[in-house]
Amino acid sequence: MKIRNVAIIAHVDHGKTTLVDAFLKQSGIFGAHQHVEDRILDSNALEQERGITILAKNVSVKYEDVKINIVDTPGHADFGGEVERILSMVDGALLVVDAVEGPMPQTRFVLQKALERGLAPIVVVNKIDRDAADPNRVIDEVFDLFVSLDATEEQLDFPVYYASALAGVASTEPFSLGGDGNIFPLLEGIVQFVPEPKVQESGCLQMMISNLEYNDYVGRMALGRISSGRLRSGQDVLLTHSERTGTKRGKISQLYTFEGLDMTSVKSVSAGDIVAFAGIDNVEIGETVNDIDKPLPLPAISVDQPTLTMIFRVNDGPFAGLDADYLTSRQLRERLWREARTNVALAVAETDSSDQFRVSGRGELHLSVLIETMRREGYSFCVTKPEPVLQHTDEGILEPYEHLTIDVPQDYLGAVMEQIGRRRGEMQQMSSASEDRMRVEFIIPARGLIGFAPQFLTETRGHGIMNYAFSHYGPWAGSITQRQTGSLIAWETGTATAYALEGAEERGILFISPGTQVYAGMIVGEHNRAGDLEINVARKKQMTNVRAAGSDDLVKLNTPRQLSLEQFLAYLADDDCLEVTPTSLRLRKLLLNRHDRERQKKSK
């Protein structure tokens, strides 16, 4: 059977996952009366909540006599590790672009990776049925983007298709999408313009491990494309790595190929197809599967290096074990090292303390997704303030810089540029994105982006779009002041009362409401002045003959500030940490005892 391997790349919310839905539904994967949810591939709970793709997914459809393996890739630069792995398995890329918005900032990152690998591009102008659709302008903008990314002559001669993924129709003409249309013209385009895999069916076995999954029945499963030779169920194989000298032996117990959303067990698979296998528990991403007597490792996957780092530490707070299944240092260590084996853009290292581990990732979103995933799995731990991954050279200390692109309405541009200036960002280029929108590019320290996303959305009333990608390492940009105020710290353990919080409101903005369980050293609000202030939020009103027990019900308090996980991370000071449990996020001091904090302050 003929094979095509293609990745779908796009800016967030331009419809690539919906397009995969149309492929699956119209290719006969589902029964005529079978109910199918929208955005089938975004099955991860965090993906559904955030409306983004985090993990790459493999599916396949059959069109006539051709099997088309399709991979849905993340659009965020923070998940560049996922993108790098997937693009190593494919020969072509579907670039999905909104017919109104055109190529957006995040389109650039993934497209650049695809062009650098020499993939054959197909441009899909999606949402052609929108009222303000302007396909001619969009195609011109896409061409300019290809030119700016140094595309080859062959890549610049890209085919164009027009589609409405939601309606499940595609065409080679912009306004010929009739009511009885279908998605098949785009599948024909994939067969025509995406080349067959360049493989050697009769050569020695070579298969790069690009992804890992876990199955309750067969254990760890490795995924990748066979570049040469043939792989069989029950076969003894050798695992090699281009950057390591050692080898490992193993045996393939189960072999699978992709059919629709499912994996089907097979006896053997030839070169060119994307497969999964089980039976080798210690397999790792980046290793090559070879014949037992012919070690021929393929070049290892290259991934952008981490730019932000933070400490994951055992939760030593008084509420640590109330709602968690996993909280020991051994359990935390095993979970982090398991993540590092599958998340190639993540780095985990030991520290001087057996209860602390250094975790480095591609950005704030990359790390926050890991934190949220672990808390949902039942882990309890603490994390410290994110810091940049520094390089110490003869020229001095170098820090990572990001290339930031914003797309905002003109009315909000001044306020946003002021915020970026405070974070040491320097403008590189400004252009008009449309009649009332501006697109501005900056170079900014990676640490300057910590906590910027929610602030950016607030400043632009939700109308702004931002994207960033690693630029380079440069000289230390100087201090960046995240906030000039201190924290309100709970004086003692107890239950917060309305009576105590009423007095505390005069000192700052509260993060908690009456009835919240607090402990000494827990941060309960933001002080309205510089420096920390310890307050008693569990103090109760003394009952007398003129004070009724229920008089607290008459107290009117302001609504406490609700912070997201990213906002919690941005709030952290050097001596703070965030306590993460399955049911709660709590800001606290690293040292809970106030006398210990005073001694530490004096020693500094």
Same domain, yes or no: 253 and 126: no
- Structural domain harbouring 446: 391-475
User: Can you read off the two tokens belonging to residue 419?
Assistant: 């915020």
Average pLDDT over residues 72-86: 60
| Residue 399 counted as domain residue | yes
Question: Where is the domain boundary, 438, 457, 475?
Answer: 475
Cα gap 363→451, rounded to integer Å = 11
CATH number of the domain to which 157 belongs: 3.40.50.300
Query: Quick one: which H or E segment has residue 185?
Result: helix 184-193
**405 vs 75, 459, 474, CA distance in Å?**
14, 16, 19
Same domain, yes or no: 173 and 114: yes
Predicted structure pTM score: 0.75
Q: What is the predicted pLDDT for the residue at 43?
A: 45
| Residue 386 counted as domain residue | no
Same domain, yes or no: 272 and 131: no
Residue 268 CA, chain-centre distance (Å), reads: 34
Secondary structure of residue 458 in the 3-state scheme: helix
| Residue 6 counted as domain residue | yes
CATH number of the domain to which 422 belongs: 3.30.70.240
List pLDDT tens digits, range 497-548. 999 999 899 999 999 999 999 999 999 999 999 889 999 999 887 665 555 5
| Residue 555 counted as domain residue | no
Conformation bin of residue 239: beta by default, left when phi > 0, alpha when psi is -120 to 50: beta
Same domain, yes or no: 74 and 107: yes
Same domain, yes or no: 56 and 141: yes
Judge whether 68 and 191 are in contact, CB under 8 Å.
yes
List pLDDT tens digits, range 40-58. 444 445 444 444 444 446 7
Report the domain count for the chain: 3
Judge whether 281 and 219 are in contact, CB under 8 Å.
yes
HSE-CB at 30 with a 13 A cutoff on CA atoms is 14
Within 10 angstroms of residue 212's Cβ, the number of other Cβ atoms is 20
Same domain, yes or no: 284 and 424: no
Secondary structure of residue 27 in the 3-state scheme: coil
HSE-CB at 52 with a 13 A cutoff on CA atoms is 15
User: Can you read off the two tokens belonging to residue 372?
Assistant: 């949220």
The answer to whether residue 177 scores a pLDDT higher than 80 is no
What is the β-pairing status of strands 57-63 and 66-72? antiparallel
**262 vs 36, 37, 254, 256, 401, CA distance in Å?**
15, 16, 15, 9, 41
Within 10 angstroms of residue 14's Cβ, the number of other Cβ atoms is 27
Owner of token pair 């903005």: 509
| Residue 419 counted as domain residue | yes
Q: What is the predicted pLDDT for the residue at 589?
A: 95
Q: Which amino acid is at 512?
A: I
Same domain, yes or no: 214 and 174: no
Same domain, yes or no: 8 and 92: yes
Same domain, yes or no: 244 and 265: yes
| Residue 124 counted as domain residue | yes
| Residue 416 counted as domain residue | yes
| Residue 12 counted as domain residue | yes
* Weakest-pLDDT range from 17-21, 474-478, 574-578, 586-590: 17-21
> How is residue 125 annotated by DSSP?
E
CATH number of the domain to which 228 belongs: 2.40.30.10
Within 10 angstroms of residue 216's Cβ, the number of other Cβ atoms is 5
List pLDDT tens digits, range 105-154. 667 777 888 898 898 899 999 988 888 888 999 999 999 989 988 899 99
Same domain, yes or no: 405 and 262: no
CA angle 30, 197, 163 (to 5 degrees): 45
Same domain, yes or no: 180 and 235: no
Question: Where is the domain boundary, 193, 221, 237?
Answer: 193
Question: Where is the domain boundary, 193, 221, 253?
Answer: 193
List pLDDT tens digits, range 387-407. 999 999 888 899 999 889 888
Same domain, yes or no: 42 and 145: yes
Owner of token pair 């690539």: 16
Band (32; pLDDT cuts 50, 70, 90):
very low
The mean of the pLDDT values for the chain is 85
CB-based burial, 528-540: b 16+ in 10 Å, e otherwise: eeeebbebbbbbe
